[in-house]
Amino acid sequence: MPGARFAELPVTAIEPNAKQPRHVFDEEALEELKTSIQEVGFLQPIVVRDVGGGRYELVMGERRWRAAQAVGKETIPAIIRDTRDDAMLRDALLENIHRANLNPLEEAAAYQQLLEEFGATHEELARRIGRSRPQISNTIRLLNLPAPVQRRVAAGVLSAGHARALLGLEDSEAQEQLALRIVAEGLSVRATEELVSLAIADGPVKKAAPSRRAKVHAPALNDLADRLSDRFDTRVKVDIGRNKGKITIEFATVDDLERIVGMIGVEEEGADSDES
């Protein structure tokens, strides 16, 4: 690819960037990353530049490099940049995504890396790789699944459709249990979606026991949630309890959140109040 080449580099051949502004790394986040690398492997390559003599300097991905050292990995996948032009490197990676045979998790990690490290936007990703914006957002959300579930997705035991359905469950333990059942019983994506819907419906009933709610309010609420989901191009949940209700709008990134806020019209209202 113009501007970049991929390689599996020895961890010991890489040195940190002396100009790295971050010197303190969150230990809990680092532990989570170590667990993910051990169970799922590397989803995102680091970015380095060749400094000669078989040595490389980190440009992006120091947490991944540190985690790789901590778990005893000898090599790490890396993008060796041949240009200082970030835009050229980003374009090269965008062109490579739809040509590479990536599993759903690798695809999600590639999108996330392009958004966070290379300044790409959801619209640009959608246009360049021929996907819809909701598809990209939903794919990125797969990175929120617990590590054991991610491992099954990466291995091809669970499809991307199964994984997206599991995201409907908020509890990671429930996601893992249903993932095991999908594999054991050979459940289809449709059957998984129905089980998730039942689990969501049963949850509030057990806590507040409002049997009247499930019979009277659920159809109208589900219809409203579907319409809002279509409106915002993301999953929306509408719940009513005994004394109050809530609307939950899911988003994948800060960019996606800003898009939704703009559609709601919060920014426009703020502008009007400033003028007055």
119 neighbors 93 (Cβ within 8 angstroms): no
| Catalytic annotation, pick one of 28, 32, 57, 62 | 62
Strands 236-240 and 245-249 turn out to be antiparallel
Which pLDDT does position 14 carry in this prediction?
93
Which pLDDT does position 74 carry in this prediction?
93
Is 57 noted as a catalytic residue in this protein?
no
Dist. CA 146–CA 40, nearest whole Å: 10
Q: What is the pLDDT of residues 226-251, one digit of tens each?
A: 777 767 777 778 777 666 778 888 77
Q: In the numeric block, which tokens belong to residue 5?
A: 């080449």
Where helices occur in 61-159 by DSSP H, the ranges are: 62-70, 86-97, 104-117, 122-129, 133-140, 147-154
| Phi/psi of residue 14, nearest 5 degrees | -110, 135
Please give, one letter per residue, the 3-state secondary structure of 133-197.
HHHHHHHHHHHHCCHHHHHHHHCCCCCHHHHHHHCCCCCHHHHHHHHHHHHHHCCCHHHHHHHHH
Q: In the numeric block, which tokens belong to residue 219?
A: 């159809």
DSSP single-letter state for residue 23: -
Which run of H or E residues covers position 74?
A: none
First to last CA, the chain: 53
Which pLDDT does position 114 carry in this prediction?
79
Q: What is the pLDDT of residues 73-98, one digit of tens each?
A: 999 999 888 766 666 666 666 666 66
145 neighbors 163 (Cβ within 8 angstroms): yes
Dist. CA 137–CA 233, nearest whole Å: 9
Q: How far is CA 9 from CA 41, 72, 79, 81, 87, in A?
A: 15, 14, 9, 13, 24
Residues of the chain with pLDDT under 70: 1-3, 18-26, 83-101, 203-222, 230, 241-243, 252, 266-276
Residues 262-266: contacts with CB within 8 Å, 24+ apart?
Answer: 263/231, 263/232
- Counted residue by residue, the chain has a size of 276
pTM of the model: 0.52
Q: Which residue has the tokens 């005994």?
A: 242
How many Cβ atoms sit within 10 Å of the Cβ of residue 58?
A: 20
Which pLDDT does position 220 carry in this prediction?
64
Which pLDDT does position 27 carry in this prediction?
73
Task: Report the amino acid identity of residue 201.
Answer: A
